[in-house]
Amino acid sequence: MLVGAGPGDPGLMTAAGSAWLARADVVLYDRLANPSLLAQCRDGAELIFVGKRPDAHALKQEQINELLVARTREGNLVVRLKGGDPFVFGRGGEEADALAEAGCEYRIVPGVTAAIAAGAYAGIPVTDRRAASCVTLVTGHEDPTKGSSSLNYEALAGVDTLVFYMGVKNLPLIAERLIAAGRSGRTPVALVHKATLPEQRTVTATLATAARAAEQAHIKPPTLLIVGEAVALRERIAWLEKLPLFGRTVLVTRTRRQASRLTRELGQLGAHVIESPAIEILPPDDWADVDAALRRLGEFDWLVLTSPNGADALIGRMRRLGMDGRALSGVRVAAVGPATGDVLRAAFVEPDLMPPKFTTRSLAEALVGEGLRSRKRPGEAARLLLARADIATDVLPGVLREAGAEAEELAVYRTVPPESLPEDALDALRGGRVDWVTFTSSSTVDNLLTLLGGSGVSLEGVKLASIGPITSETLEAHGLTPTVSADPHTIDGVVQAIVGFGEPNS
């Protein structure tokens, strides 16, 4: 199964490609296939890196072909995940030929090729009736065993738009030959580095000055060279660089599972996001207390959930015990905010109460405002079950007990710090390349600072985004000042606060 992974942005992989990847027993993946795509693989899939760099190959092409055939013959569903499109300068034809010769069944799943994507993300239409009626895709790095070039520069010089793959190293020669073949040295060109990724850079020049411009801008592979009058349209229709967070690097400290939405929203606004989980969510060491509380759930007047994690853990445990929403009959449910409410609604439970501000204190005040007297036992205090983390603060139960309610605390999940931070996050912090760090709970603050404690890395000069007042107080307790604090206290609020900070685009 030869699958095109697209040009880099994981969102540009086709639905068909994702479906096959999710089913694969074995995945042979390239250097230019975005590593985040591997998260779509099923548990237990064998992942084998077979990427190539100009100076080093994990495996030679003949070895890749042999491995592809061998794993397929073993009865595995094998996905050969290739950057871009398998049949556009991807050697997919050679691999398909090897499978055909071995009598193996296979399919080809096309991908978005880098040339078209680079033009789109750089604001350069490779065809446009005002400037370009034809486009040619060209390799800038031919097979060195051929002896002589098979490229007809006289013919290429007359093509409206040329897109060269792998052409940075040979850029001076490419420009020289095109000009010698009759192409004007004043022809606009663009060099698009890491197309479609947050690190994308686009350098424009003329054909005569392109090599010097690439050297001055330190342009390295992977870079595509686009030659033609259509490049001039970029000045008006370039869009990526106009996104509000283009050029910013944001460190996200949420759990890997929870980070996806924040990562996606920041990325869609142009940010380069580095996921650096500073917290892990684990089940309780012993479910006995949780199970006992759930079996007498009907005794409570209120079930109070203070986070999506708590809601998810509680509902998951109820299902394990064979319980569903009917167990909540007669029990009112309070959720701290919309994210927690969404988890409940997914289980067909509509919250009865959500505070105007999405904080624990606001939730406590809203519950007090409901009048904490039992509807089930007239004249008695209301009984509330607080399903929370093992390290939750005393604010909520303290306010409720002071108001005369009976508040029972129940730890439905544990939060622990990871053993270490990802190396790419540490490298970016050491190199001063991080603009923002997001914090969505006090635990992410405490844990990140603990993990940084022995690394020699600090947050000096980095802007800090807090999800709300409790998290901001924790930052301040560590001697740090939040640059922005979200209002509303949600993931959307964090994103809006960063965008609203008003920095000029890089």
Catalytic residue at 143?
A: no
Q: Name every residue whose Cβ is closer than 8 Å to that of residue 467 and which is 6 or more positions away in sequence.
A: 438, 439, 440, 441, 485, 486, 489, 490, 491, 493, 494
Single out the catalytic residue among 1, 9, 13, 30. Answer: 30
Single out the catalytic residue among 52, 160, 169, 492. Answer: 52
Side chain identity at residue 143, one-letter code: D
**Distance of alpha carbon 166 from alpha carbon 11, whole angstroms:** 23
Catalytic residue at 220?
A: no
Catalytic residue at 342?
A: no
**Distance of alpha carbon 220 from alpha carbon 89, whole angstroms:** 18
**Distance of alpha carbon 148 from alpha carbon 150, whole angstroms:** 7
Side chain identity at residue 50, one-letter code: V
Cα–Cα nearest to 86, from 96, 71, 98: 96
DSSP H stretches of helix in 123-158 = 153-156
Instruction: Identify the DSSP state of 481.
Output: -
**Max intra-chain CA distance, the chain:** 96
Single out the catalytic residue among 166, 301, 312, 318. Answer: 166
Backbone angles phi, psi at 266, to 5 degrees: -65, -40
Q: State the virtual CA torsion across 248, 5, 189, 202 in degrees, nearest 10.
A: 0
236: Cα separation from own chain's centroid: 29
End-to-end CA distance of the chain: 41
Q: Give yes or no for a contact between 32 and 41, defined as CB atoms under 8 angstroms apart.
A: no
Q: Give yes or no for a contact between 150 and 209, defined as CB atoms under 8 angstroms apart.
A: no
Q: What Rg do the C-alpha atoms of the chain give, in angstroms? A: 28
Catalytic residues: 30, 52, 166
